[in-house]
Structure 1
Amino acid sequence: MEGACAPRVRRRGAGAASRRGNDPVEASLRQPVFDPIRPWHERLQAAGGASLGHLNALADAAGLRTESGRPVRFVPPGAADAYYEVRVFESGCVETRPESLHDLFNALAWLAFPRTKARINAMHAERIPHERGRRGRLRDLLTLFDEGGAIVACADAELLAMLRGFRWKALFWGHRRRVLRSMRVSVLGHAVLEKALDPWPGITCKAIFVAPGADADAQAAAWLAQRSTQATPRELAPVPIFGYPGWLPGSERPEFYDDTRYFRRAYGNAG
């Protein structure tokens, strides 16, 4: 397996934001936006920190696999190419820069949402050979969900109607107790998780909706499996996640939700 996962030529450089130390991660992961990945990060820290070896030990213990049946291994990156997702599907090797927070959050998302991540990868791998170098709309949806996705578990039809209607103040302020009681938001998008280390109201996820009480990961994977090749990113709902009550300082005041730069109205929606 090690041979199949060997790095290919060169290492990709990490961005400046990715070269930060782990201190901001430790402090920030106490925030609720990180709830799904926090247990895995705690296990990682208990094992000695975010090394590829420690990530792979967690992956082995969790039985992490692609839909092709390959054990998932986090490996040093090689040369980038258009067939990354195919290589992950065929080998199980997920290229991971040890110094990159972006890649760390991707690995933690694999651990926290294994079925969803494996489904995203399998759908990419299936479509790539048909696209002749240009990514189609289904893969646009998959990429947006992978990088910025959230799973909203809620059975309250009125709350969901407010969310779909971009009625953010009515939802997050006017019905905040119901939101706290009846709506759970689980963020899996690793790019959003990285951004959330320095949170601000404009951070927006692309969400799907599932039933509460059941396995959100399994439901999200099933939702993706039901998408046709004609699916588009419009099937994902934009949600300014830091409007969720208590997720950001300031959200305890009604005027927090009046800033339409972040809490935008739908076209034709007056409130």
Structure 2
Amino acid sequence: MSTADHHPASLATQPLFAPIGRWLERCAGTGLPDHAALDALLAEAAPGTRSGGGAPIRFVPPGETPAGYEAHIFARGEVPTRSGDWHDFFNALAWCAWPRTKATLNRLHVEELQTRTAAGLSGRGPRRDALTQFDECGIVVVSADTEIPALLAAHEWEAAFWDRRQRLARTTRFLVFGHATWELLRAPFFGLCAKALYRRVAPDWLALPADAALADTDAWLAHEFTTMIGDFSPRSLSALPLLGIPGMTPENECAAYYRDTRQFRPRRAHEAHAAIL
């Protein structure tokens, strides 16, 4: 059976699935949970979770959403979720893991839509594009190291992933947010990237239990999105090649792996440095 055919529980112990690992373990069957089961998982994981508009979140079969996907969730709390679909399944688990940030992104989408409509602007605009990119493909790199986040943001891949490999393992955590990234991680491929935001923490943060560390990062991320939305755009996010993370593939157990610019491309001169928050 290929990795892509695995049932949900088989993914629970893989490192980049850690934010949703405990709920993947609960999905012991070969199929994906139905809407009622997903509602029950959310009620257990994050009781009282609400949309950006304050409506209780629940997962429902797709239907007509004339106001648009985000506006529908904002107003009604109904998250359209296709049965048996991995992408939508992981989106439901993202609500379990990141309830505050998911609600914040939902609110910011609707506020930006309203702002652009009032200004007579067509299209989604860069803020909504960036919100969607992070919602689908985001990862939070949390580090107590003074150098590693800046090196990764600058695309100094060998310096971060290889030269400081032991330090990275001790000081840095990679917390996937994006549900599309989890879907792709079922069968990782050469060049797979996520869109990273970087958070620097005090060393004692690393001693937090996993659940507490995740909840703390969720609260931090929701706050950061609210405060930085005015300047937020796709340029705010930094590409992170996921197969460079130690342990992701046996092939990255040598320095030469990080010199392949097809996957580990240098930062272009015109690219902005991602902020270290």
Measured against the shorter chain, the TM-score band is: 0.7 to 0.9
Q: CA offsets, 1:127-161, max 9 Å, x none?
A: 11233441011111100100010111113221122
Q: Distance in 1 between matches of 2:79 and 2:20?
A: 18
Contact 1:204 1:238 in 2 (8 A): yes
Q: Distance in 2 between matches of 1:161 and 1:59?
A: 35
Q: Distance in 2 between matches of 1:73 and 1:231?
A: 28
Which residue of structure 2 lines up, in the alignment, with residue 249 of structure 1? Answer: 250
Q: Report % sequence identity.
A: 40
Which residue of structure 2 lines up, in the alignment, with residue 200 of structure 1? Answer: 189
Q: Distance in 1 between matches of 2:164 and 2:192?
A: 21
Letter in 2 for 1:185: F
For 1:3-82, list aligned pairs within 5 A.
23-45=6-28, 50-61=33-44, 62-63=46-47, 64-79=49-64, 81=66
Gaps of 5+ in 1: 1-19
Q: Deviation at 1:257?
A: 1.3
Letter in 1 for 2:244: G
Q: Deviation at 1:202?
A: 1.0
For 1:111-130, list aligned pairs within 5 A.
111-130=96-115
Q: 1:228 to 1:56 in 2, by over 3 A?
A: closer
Q: Distance in 2 between matches of 1:116 and 1:137?
A: 19
For 1:1-271, list aligned pairs within 5 A.
23-45=6-28, 50-61=33-44, 62-63=46-47, 64-79=49-64, 81=66, 83-132=68-117, 133-212=122-201, 213=205, 215-267=216-268
Letter in 1 for 2:69: Y
Structure that is richer in helix per residue: 2
SS in structure 2 at match of 1:94:
strand
Q: Deviation at 1:65?
A: 1.6
Letter in 2 for 1:68: G
Q: Deviation at 1:67?
A: 3.2
Q: CA offsets, 1:32-60, max 9 Å, x none?
A: 111111112223448x9511110001222
The number of residues matched between the two structures is: 248
Which residue of structure 1 lines up, in the alignment, with residue 275 of structure 2? Answer: none
Letter in 2 for 1:229: G
Letter in 2 for 1:75: V
Q: CA RMSD in A?
A: 2.1
Q: 1:236 to 1:82 in 2, by over 3 A?
A: farther
Instruction: Give the TM-score taking structure 2 as reference length.
Output: 0.83
Q: Distance in 1 between matches of 2:135 and 2:85?
A: 17
Task: Show structure 1 runs of 4+ deviating over 3 A.
Answer: 24-29, 79-82
Which residue of structure 2 lines up, in the alignment, with residue 16 of structure 1? Answer: none
Q: Distance in 2 between matches of 1:248 and 1:118?
A: 34
Q: Distance in 2 between matches of 1:83 and 1:171?
A: 41
SS in structure 1 at match of 2:82:
coil
Instruction: Give the TM-score taking structure 1 as reference length.
Output: 0.85
Contact 2:193 2:242 in 1 (8 A): yes
Letter in 1 for 2:74: F
Letter in 2 for 1:242: L
Letter in 2 for 1:99: G
SS in structure 2 at match of 1:98:
coil
Larger mean Cα displacement after TM superposition, 169-178 or 231-240: 231-240
